[in-house]
Structure 1
């Protein structure tokens, strides 16, 4: 079967005046379709245009034709990969902790009394513990005098050079998974495959975890953050939490309950997991994601 291409016209206006047009423009695409916004972004980036205003994509259709060059990575999931679970009303993240309550504080119907006809708003109300969904731990979570979310520098949460460790179908993940790798000053994300059990009873029992020796090795190597797509980075069978103790004691951040780690390469991307700037909180949900440089 021939490769897929998109054929389209475009009009581009510039904010400082003038414009350019293109007719019967053909572009190799990796999938079966592409949005107008993706095409607009591609034209701007590939032609290195500046001061771009409105872009109209016209007369778009698809053909099967052999690609003339390697496909260009321009789809959103080539630049960003979402690594977070969705939080919803009633979600059980950790057995024994209350589920979040997500509801209206001001409903759209109620708001109509405050605004002119056709104008309405919703103001939401959320009640939850901070260990909900995909969340990040900082030292205050484990240590009374450790840094809380408001005291951790922003660069510790975002733009971290990252590496993916493949530990799929492994329960006890020891230091051997991290030896011989360049991990200093990086975010280390451990892919166990356990995220497939998310929001099921199986998620809480027999989950993969890091050993105390693995945590010690990561500390000695000076990593910046450790993430895992499992119920807990520690073995919860007992009452000790040596991985939390070791990593957070060294101000190495922890992200638990990740997902989609199977979509990540071994390296060559950045990890981002930024929480709100709360004082007096050591844990909070994040929108964790991987980002890629698609400029080349």
Structure 2
């Protein structure tokens, strides 16, 4: 039997009925709706959840009614070389801060917290300076991941960072779980489900260190 070396690190939040969600959003639930005792052969389950529960990607349609939906996104954005950067000591992430890590790979993962409680929705998130959008484009970055519920502050209606990123071809991964991950270079896989008309998608995000 072939042996597998477990080098992949899971950076996605477990989906349980305790996982935190945005206020007023659809909570996660799973139930067996057709048990083996009735079907005679299998258990069949059903899930209900907001697309923005746990670790997920945003499509432009999430904040722009004319924006691309999940089915139109290039899946290659969500696979490839990445870098985890620890910014947990700062209150605002700027291009000047990120410039210390040049050159950058096409995908960045920002670790803003040392400890995460997936069952408690945060009171605030680390601020991202919208000016990083065009700067990241200049560096060839196509995906920005973060370990918070949003790249914008939680009360934002203008969604300035969302626009600044997508207007410059930088896609968004939110609520990655990076507590157990050391800064460094990794291979990332964070594929969205092919939910054609959706405004986002949950992902099973995993990374492994680059040698």
TM-score for both structures, normalised by structure 2: 0.88
What RMSD, in angstroms, separates the aligned Cα atoms of the two structures?
Answer: 2.2
- Please give the alpha-carbon distance, in whole angstroms, between the structure 2 residues aligned to 1:199 and 1:234: 20
The answer on 1:217 being equivalent to 2:118 is: no
- Please give the alpha-carbon distance, in whole angstroms, between the structure 1 residues aligned to 2:166 and 2:195: 18
| C-alpha spacing 1:237/1:89, structure 2 compared with 1 (3 Å) | closer
Tell me which residue corresponds to 2:13: 85
Deviation at 1:148, TM superposition (A): 1.6
| Matched positions, count | 210
- Map residues 1-296 of structure 1 onto 2, 5 A cutoff: 41=3, 74=5, 76=6, 79-112=7-40, 120-158=41-79, 160-180=80-100, 181-183=102-104, 186-193=106-113, 196-200=116-120, 203-260=121-178, 262-267=180-185, 269-292=186-209
Runs of at least 5 residues in structure 1 that lack an aligned partner in the other structure: 1-36, 43-73, 113-119
Deviation at 1:253, TM superposition (A): 1.3
| C-alpha spacing 1:108/1:170, structure 2 compared with 1 (3 Å) | farther
- Please give the alpha-carbon distance, in whole angstroms, between the structure 2 residues aligned to 1:293 and 1:220: 24
Deviations 1:45-94 (A, max 9, x none): xxxxxxxxxxxxxxxxxxxxxxxxxxxxx4x1xx2110000111353222
- Please give the alpha-carbon distance, in whole angstroms, between the structure 2 residues aligned to 1:229 and 1:108: 38
Deviation at 1:96, TM superposition (A): 2.4
Contact 1:274-1:287 within 8 A present in 2 as well = yes
- Please give the alpha-carbon distance, in whole angstroms, between the structure 1 residues aligned to 2:181 and 2:20: 25
SS at match of 1:102: strand
Deviation at 1:292, TM superposition (A): 4.0
Deviation at 1:150, TM superposition (A): 1.2
- Please give the alpha-carbon distance, in whole angstroms, between the structure 1 residues aligned to 2:189 and 2:54: 16
Runs of at least 5 residues in structure 2 that lack an aligned partner in the other structure: none
